[in-house]
Amino acid sequence: MIWTELDFNFNILTRDLSHYLENQVKVGGVGLSLVLGFSAAYTCYYLLSVAKKPQLISGGKKFYHFLREQCPVVSETYYPTFWCWESRIQTLLRPFVTAKPGVVYRNELIKAPDGGQISLDWFDNDDSLSHPDPATRPTVLLLPGLTGTSRESYILHMVQQSRDLGYRCVVFNNRGVSGETLLTPRTYCAANTEDLETVIEHIQRTNEAAQIMAAGVSMGGMMLANYLGRKGRKTCLKGVVVFSVGWDVFECTASLEKPLDRFLFNSYLTSCLQASVDRHRPVLEKCYDIDHVMKAKTIREFDERFTSIMFGYSTNDDYYLDASPVHRLKSVKVPMLCLNAADDVFSPSHGPVASTEHLHGPSLQAVCQG
């Protein structure tokens, strides 16, 4: 009965649309011409101004040629979703149209030197055909964004793709974001890499014969880039890729404070950060004015009242300067692919492009247009 009604309504709609177009054509085809003209104009604009090849900027010719040969997608024309290519609209619609692959994790809580605990979610991939020996199975360390966890759709897709390649995955959840108890009055920030170092050392001890790679998104990528800049060659990571990194935190914050972006994104992210703090109020309020933190309206205000104080910076500007990975790019000695979208609200295009003067060694940026 339901199908019959739907079929009947569809037939009526088709009949009315055909009748409308026929009538428009009879009076000169104005309606149909408008539709065809708009479609043609939109298609031309999309092909000429939206779909573009990435801008590749490399700190070393060898790595550049390796990626061109082994990862050709970094030099191919990028075609964003035809009906939704604007970055803000994509960001707003993503939660409603994103699929989440089914992934079953094995959770592990490890101790940090200060007495805190860090939650790791492992996908062991014991069914791997290409790497059946768990002792030598390559491991991919994944770092989510600002308030993200191992359950984010983009992390689940990374795990799925790694699984298809036969790799093991482990997701580093920042303190207090994935449901675990906060044991000490400390959370996380983009500049501090102590927890990341603890996690990498733990992974290496757990699988000494396995190669380790890493991928970070947004703030996770910032933390990873800062870690590599500090460690230089003294790291066990064999290769790294980072997505949507905020290279210059001052520029990123300024972008998010523009009226529209503040309304669409800044306030929401600030409320997410505040919700995480409020969940752990009993342990945090012993050291910080949580009521003052909860009144912050922007990420900058949140950092001024909480993050920069927690990690001992004299001013918030000092924190933002230390958190900006652009200043450590020249010290990165591990192959690192950096992917940024030119219209990324969270990382303005002049940020990654301006940072290329700091590129040395095996680093490469692919700034995707659109």
Supply the pLDDT for residue 53: 86
Q: pLDDT tens digit string along 92-110?
A: 777 777 788 999 999 999 9
Q: pLDDT tens digit string along 73-90?
A: 888 898 888 888 777 888
Tokens 């984010």 appear where? Answer: 152
Greatest distance between any 2 Cα atoms in the chain = 80
Question: Residues of the chain with pLDDT > 70: what percent?
Answer: 86
Highest mean pLDDT among 68-77, 253-262, 361-370: 253-262
Using only C-alpha atoms, the chain has a radius of gyration, in whole angstroms, of 24
Residue 358 identity (one-letter amino acid): H
**pLDDT > 70? residue 369:** no
Distance of alpha carbon 216 from alpha carbon 335, whole angstroms:
14
Residue 18: other Cβ atoms inside 10 A: 10
Distance of alpha carbon 112 from alpha carbon 109, whole angstroms:
10
- Measured torsion, CA atoms of residues 179, 191, 325, 314, in degrees rounded to the nearest 10: 140
Separation in Å, CA 213 to CA 26, 90, 175, 231: 65, 29, 22, 15
Strands 336-341 and 237-243: parallel
Q: What is the pTM of this model?
A: 0.85
In terms of Cβ atoms closer than 10 Å to its own Cβ (0-12, 13-18, 19+), residue 102 is exposed
5 against 125, higher pLDDT: 125
**pLDDT > 50? residue 4:** no
What DSSP letter does each residue of 228-279 carry, written as one string?
HHHHTT---EEEEEEES--S-HHHHHHHHTSHHHIIIIIHHHHHHHHHHHHH
15 against 54, higher pLDDT: 54
Q: What's the fold here for domain 54-248+330-368?
A: Rossmann fold (3.40.50)
353 — pLDDT class (breaks 50, 70, 90) = very low
What DSSP letter does each residue of 183-212 carry, written as one string?
-SS----SS--HHHHHHHHHHHHHTTTS-E
Going from N- to C-terminal start, the domains of the chain cover: 54-248+330-368, 249-323
Question: Residues of the chain with pLDDT > 90: what percent?
Answer: 63
Separation in Å, CA 123 to CA 3, 130, 218: 43, 16, 22
Q: Is 321 left (phi over 0), alpha (psi -120 to 50) or beta?
A: alpha
